[in-house]
Chains A and B, each alone.
Chain A
Amino acid sequence: MTTALHKTECRVIAVLIPVVSFALGALATAQPAVSTPAQFQSAAPEAKRAFLNALALHKASLEPSELVNVLVRGIQDSDPEVRAVALTAFASRAGSVRFKQTDARVQRWLREHPALMGVREVATAALRDPDERVRLAAILALGNLEYRLGDPPVGLRISDQLLQRLAHLFRSDPSSSVRQEIAKSFAWCSTESSTRTDLLLDALNDESPAVVAQAARGVGNMRLPEGLPRILNLLAHKDRNVRLVVAQALAEYGTAAVPFLGELRMAVLSETDGITKKTLEGAIRVLERSGRQ
C-alpha cells in the first residue's frame, strides 16, 4: 500500500515538474504589459510602441502627470521609432478635440492640456532629431498643441514663434517629407504672418514637386498678390499634381486672376493629363464668372 502510494506521488511529481518549469519559463520571458510610467521605462521597444499607440488611439489612459511622464520618456527614448510614436501620441492627445468633440473627450482634454504644455520644449528639441520620422511627428505634435478649444479644427492659429521655428527647419532640412509637412501646415493655417507668406513664396522654388504643390495651395488660400505671377509660371511645371493644384489656386484668386485667363487657356491646349485639363477648364469657368460679376 505504501509502495503503491509512493508510485502515484512519483507520477504526479513527474507530470508537474515539466508543467511548472514551463510556467516559470514563460513568466521569465513574458513582456509585462505596460500600464505605468515605471513599467514603460523598462519595457521593450515593441511594448513601448504598443502602449504609446494605445494612448494615441485613446485605448489607454493615465493621469495627466503620468501621461506627461510617459510621453517625455518616449520622446527621449534611444529608439527612433519609439520617439516618433511618442510624438504622434502627444499630437493625438494634444489635438484630440480637433478630431472628435465628444463631452468625455473635451473633459479629458481640459484636464490633460495644461500638463501637455509642459512637453512642448522636449517636442521642440525633437525638431532637431536625426531621424526624419521623428521630426515629422514633432511638427504634428507642436501644431496640435497650439489648438485652442473653440477654434475651427482646420486652419490652426499657429504662434509666430512656432512658425519661425518651422520656417528655420524648412530652410535647413534635407528631407522633402519634412519640408512638405511644413509647407502643408503653412498652407492651411490661419495665422497672418510675414513668416508664413515668405516661406510659402520660397517653397514655390523647392526641388520637390510635393512641396511646390503645397506651397501653391497655400499661396492660393492666402491670395497673395506677389504669388500670382509665380504660380502662373507653374502651369508649365513637369509634375501634373503641381499643375492641378495651381489651377485650383488660380480659381481661389477670383477676379485678381481674371487678367490671366489667356495663360490658362493656353495651358489647356498643351495639357496632356485628363484630370488636370478638366481642372484647368473648370478654373477658367470660375474666373469667367468672376469677371462678369
Chain B
Amino acid sequence: MSRRETRRCLAGAASWGFLTLIACVVTPRSSSAQEVYVSSLIADGQSVSGAGGNGTSGSGGDLWHDLSCSGGTSGGWEHVYFELSLWMVDGSQVYTVATNSWVGYGALQGSVSGRVRASTQDRELRCYAYAQGTIGEFDRILSTEDRGTLLGSGPGSATIKVSAFIPTEYVGNPYNLYRIWEGDNRGFAYTGGTSRTTQIYDVFNPAVNDADILSGPFSNTGLSVEYDRDTSLTNPPFGSIRPEARNDWEPGYPMKIRWEFGDTNGMFCTAPTRLGASAGTSSHRFTCQGDATVPFADYVPHINWNFEFTLKWGMNEVEATIVGCHDGYPSYEIYGNGTALLTDNATSVDALWGTCDTQTNVTRVFR
C-alpha cells in the first residue's frame, strides 16, 4: 500500500469508525502482508485455515475446542502497536474468543488462545492482526486476517435402531413338519415392514449436551403367528400364505393356529457412559442386548444378541463402532439415524442353537 492509500484508510477510520475497519479487514493487502501477518489459525491442534461457516453457539456437553492463532509484524517498524484477535462468527453474532496487544518495534510475534464449547453447527473463525505505527517517515495502519471453519460436532442426537427379522415369508417350524411360522418377508430396511424384535434408543450428542438420553430405550416385538401348513399355503407344502389364512382370527385348526406377542423382558440397553473428549471429538459407550423366546414350543433355544456401541461425535459426523455378537438366525440390522451400520443375513434355523455365536466388529460413519 502506498503512503497515500494508507492515510486514506486512516482518514476513513477516523470518519467511519467500525465500518471502515471492516472494509480494511475484508480486503487484506497482500503487498503489505509481510509487515503484519497471521501465521496460524489452530483448532484442537489442527490448522483450520480456509473458508468460514455459520452456526450457533454451544450451550452444554463435555467438548470444548481449544483455539489459537498467532501472528506478528515485520522488522521495518520503528514503533508499532500490534493487536491480535481471535473471533468466532456464529450466525450473525461475532464473539471475541481472545485478544491481546503488544507495543514495541521491529519484528513482534504473539499468539492468543481460548476455548469455545462445541456446537452441532459449523462456525467461522477469524484471526485478525492489526498494526499501527511508523515505518520510516510514514504513519501506517495495516491489518490482515485468516479465516477458518470450526466444524460442527455432528447431529444433536442419534436414533439407534436394532432389529432382528425373518427375511422369508414363512419358515418351517423345526419341531413340527405340518406347522409354519410367519416371517417378516423383507430385506434390510430402516423403515417399513415388521420385525421379530426391535430396540430403539435416542441418545444425545455428548459433545454438546449435558443429558445423555433423549428417549428410550424402547423394546418391541412383532406378532408371532403359527399356521397349519397344508391349509394355509397356496400350493402346500410350497407357495405363499393364502390371504384367507392371514385373515383367519379364529384360534385353532385350520389355517392360522395360534399367535402372540413376544415379551420384551430380556431386552434392554444400558445408559451411555461418557468416555470424554479428545482431539475435537466426544465419545460415549452403551450396550444393547436381548434374549427373546421362540414361541409355541417347550424347551427351545432363545435368540440372543449383545452389541456394545461406541459413538464418537465430531467433525460433523458420528463414528459408530459396534462390537458384539448375535445368533446366526434370524437376520440382524442396525441403523444410526437411518444409515445402515450392520446388515447380517440369516443363516439356517439350526443356528438358533448357537449362543451369540456370530461375532460383530464394525465401524461405520453416519450423520
Contact = CB atoms under 8 A, between A and B. Distances in A.
Given A177-B265, A210-B265, A184 B251 contact: no
Contacts of B266: 177
B216 interface: no
Interface stretch (A5-13, A62-70, A90-98, A121-129): A90-98
A137 B300 CA distance: 10
Contact of B259 (A84, A98, A279, A281): A279
Contacts of A92: 301, 353
Interface in B341-367: 350-351, 353-355, 357
A283 B252 CA distance: 9
A240 interface: yes
Contacts, number: 118
Contacts of A57: 328, 350-351, 353-354, 357
A184 B301 contact: no
A177 B298 contact: no
Contacts of A247: 251
Nearest to B298: A188
Interface centre among A50, A56, A189, A286 (most CB of B within 10 A): A56
A228 interface: no
B261 interface: yes
B299 A99 contact: no
Nearest to B174: A99
Contact of B260 (A50, A139, A177, A245): A245
A153 B175 contact: yes
A140 B354 contact: no
Interface string A178-197: 00110011011100000000
Interface centre among A88, A143, A144 (most CB of B within 10 A): A88
A221 to B, nearest CB: 10
Contacts of B339: none
A91 B299 contact: yes
A85 B248 CA distance: 39
Contacts of A155: 298
5 contacts: A100-B350, A154-B175, A184-B298, A208-B265, A285-B250
Interface of B: 174-176, 223, 248-252, 258-261, 263, 265-266, 291, 293, 296-302, 328, 350-351, 353-355, 357
Given A53-B354, A248-B260, 16 more contacts: A50-B357, A52-B355, A56-B355, A57-B351, A92-B301, A133-B291, A140-B299, A140-B301, A143-B298, A154-B298, A177-B291, A187-B298, A217-B260, A240-B261, A275-B259, A286-B252
